[in-house]
Structure 1
Amino acid sequence: MSAMPQSLERSKVKAYTVIHNDRCQTDVNVQPQATAAAKSPRNGSRLRTNALALAGAFAVIALPLLSGNGYIIQVASLAAIGAIMAVSLGILYGHSGQLSFAHAAFYGVGAYTAVVLHTQHGVNFIVSLFAGAALSGLVAFVVGLPTLRLRGNYLAIATMALQLGISEVFVNAKITGGSVGILGIVRPTIAGFSFESPFAYYVLLALAAVLVFMLAHYIVHSRAGRGLAAIREDETAAGVIGVDVIWYKVSIFTITAMIAGLAGGLFAYQLEYVSPESFNLDWSIAVLSMVIIGGKRSAIGAVVGAVIVTIVTQLLFSVGDLQFLVYGVWIIVIMLFLPEGLVSIWGMVRRGATSEVGL
């Protein structure tokens, strides 16, 4: 047997074990089926970890509110939006292996759509928000059908071209306000409750971040998530064992773009104005930094990365573009010494205390 068929056979076996994770635990850390899970000590550890993560999330959400400091609330609000973006890109990049530089473009589509519908046409805020997410998803779907046949660096370059193209639309289109953007955005009132206060709007953002986190957890641990993991390991082998590779890639590209569009709509009302500079390639790179620094295969890691990058960005605001040099150095260090991100430190600690506990 030649080397090529042997290589393909090994890839098929690897992809098969990823999808049929109920029979053997792989590096994707997908939960086994319910019966086996109930008997597994590993499942109890996972439940404890999830409970701790949930408690930690509520503590992190509550701390800015307890501080009563407007600046801290502002930073926490931006971190919540960053977390939504990072979690969505983490699903796309970390779990399906698709590196995209177009997330800021979808973020912008969602922001402009929500603002134009709500402020200029009187459409309900919630409807406008989800309309922005839907349009972001539609753009991703239309562009993704031909683009996602590409792989690796070619796909990354194609998404970068998409990002640059949409950024030009934001700058030159009349409906977006051109380079000036749209000013005078007023935070919404939902069911008679005003979110004009930064504290109230932060609660809305935190709730949205928690819901997106839960959605990400569901996707990753579903059968679809196992299919995405198989594609990440080897697209060819995944196709051979029955995974509809193109449909899976287009679907997750669309879903994560919709999440980015939702984040964009929320961001517009947090900042109370929108301009093209908020949705350029720099923001796509910043979100990718969050994912890599925190942990590309962990939703918790994405949140950690979002919080860290947001705080560092605020601290380095006065140095301008120099902050991207800091991101670059940080990413290199993380990839060299902690390829699974900062969240992997927790796994190392647990493995030191117990025998082989999955993150």
Structure 2
Amino acid sequence: MSSPSFPFLSLPRELREQVYDLAFKVEPSSRLYDPGTRYTKATAPLLYVHETITNELQPRLYEDHAIVLPIQKPVIFLNEGKPVAPRLKKLPRMMTRRTKKIIVEVPHPKYVRDTYYVKDIVTMSDDEDEDKEGDGDNNSAEGIREDIDECSQKDTEEDDWEDTDDSESSEESDFEGDENLGIASTTKLTRELLSLKPQLPSTKTIKVIQWSSHSDYTRREIENWQSQLSRLTEQWDGIKVEFQLNIIEWDEGFSGACYDWAQLWHRTFQDSPKIRFSVVELAWEDLYKGSYLGRELDPTGPNNPDINTMSLEERTSTLYTGARVQCRPLFIKVWPFA
């Protein structure tokens, strides 16, 4: 790996760091089901040039990193999904020690059943990883290589709730109705997340991103989400929870029943200071153009007494916070783009 002479290393450390800023790409996230490193010879060649460079790049590995749990079909996650914690053990120890955030991507069960989400999807299996080399458990280049070898020898499993093949997976739930399915899957998700705590010492944030329509939820489901997310904050010291609902354009505009729905969510979560709740609306027109940039709703906006006499511009600024949110899915597939 090393060579007798390497002119780059004769540069001052400050200049080398500037080169790293330009030439080294930090991987922001990893899918839970992909064992092995995110830093391969193909994706991070600089890491493999010289032992000194490898050691200098150590602090950058998994910087502000997130581990993503993509749940394509909640019913499969609930009925057939294997425990999450053993999968986490297949990831490099450096990754799990340094990961700052867990992201859960999940559609509402009814939204899946109503075919808003693509059913016939193809996901990457674990054995498609080309190179398991990259990072390690200690602060030496040799430690990196040893951890890689250990990780690459671990068995892989199918991503059983990612909907890789429905031929042998039943979509029939043991729970009657979407409401009970939603409540049961949320409760299981909380239990699985808590099981990860011992392996993630640096994790400070859990973000749940759910895709749905406003009419998918019952009061019981909303209250259960609040209860389960509060349980996370109570049983995981120092954790911050974010819950983001992605809504693909209101059918009748942000009015009427939508007012009541948004305010019900807001009232349910307003007494939970450790949970940040937000609703983001995306437009069909933008989605068809390939843009997932959404607008964050302000649930208190409809309470403005002048809402019905406002101009369109004033009304928009009242009903939305002004924040634009990038909602492009990381690993799940959402309609209409497979």
**Which bracket does the TM-score occupy, shorter chain normalised?**
under 0.3
Greater relative contact order structure (CA < 8 Å, 6+ sep)? 1
Question: TM-score with structure 2 length normalisation?
Answer: 0.24
Report which of the two has the higher share of helix: 1
Question: TM-score with structure 1 length normalisation?
Answer: 0.23
Structure of higher CA gyration radius = 2
Report which of the two has the higher share of strand: 2
